[in-house]
Amino acid sequence: MKYPNKIKKLHHNKINYANRGMTLENDLNLTNSYYLENNIAIIYKKATPIQVVKINYDNKRHPLIKEAYFQTPSTTDYNGVYRGQYIDFEAKETKNKTSFPLTNIHKHQLNHIEKVIEHGGISFIIVRWTTLNKTYLLKGETLISYINNKKQKSIPLTFFKKEGYIIKENYQPRLDYLKIIDLIYRGGNNEKNNTLSKK
């Protein structure tokens, strides 16, 4: 968990489409709002689990939490429904230029991704390489198989280029990851294939 990001978000309520320095989280929130408003899919970021310890009830309608702690999420960041199917994914940023450290994804998150797939859901990760300004989608199946076979502590960028799908930044939807889901899980269509590239 990167607390600083969650905090920064509090001061980011104004959406500035021209802002190229936006976090992956903000980009995905914009994208999911677009999907929701345009009746394309219902996908939300899960709330950060917080353990509440002390509450002040002086204001009964608006109780004040006086002591609380962030908890480690047991699943992934986002889930929802798209064309009847369950969608579940994790989003991560890395400043690295050549490899994505697997310490970024907890063991229980990997288990969750594996289980979702087993139960017929669609699960994947979205990784933004902030220094390179590139965002890739990697299927959960590919991720799990890499981890089980390679026994490495990181995934090289070359693997993302070969096995993943680049998500281009647009005006809106900002990061059209469902276009890639259409392609890889539904075969897509010509129009969609034309705007997609595997590199």
Contact residues: its own copies, CB under 8 A: 3, 6-7, 10, 36, 39, 41-42, 44, 46-53, 55, 62-70, 74-75, 79-88, 112, 115-116, 118-121
Could you give the CA distance from residue 4 to residue 7 in angstroms, rounded to a whole number? 5
Nearer to its own copies, 64 or 132 (CB): 64
Position 53: which residue type?
Answer: V
Nearer to its own copies, 74 or 195 (CB): 74
Burial class (CB in 10 A: 0-12, 13-18, 19+), 33: middle
Token pair for residue 130?
């902030």
Nearer to its own copies, 82 or 146 (CB): 82
Q: How far is the CB of 129 from its own copies (least distance, A)?
A: 26
Task: Please name the residue that has the structure tokens 């294939």.
Answer: 193
Nearer to its own copies, 3 or 171 (CB): 3
Number of Cα atoms under 13 Å in the Cβ half of residue 168 = 8
Q: How far is the CB of 63 from its own copies (least distance, A)?
A: 6
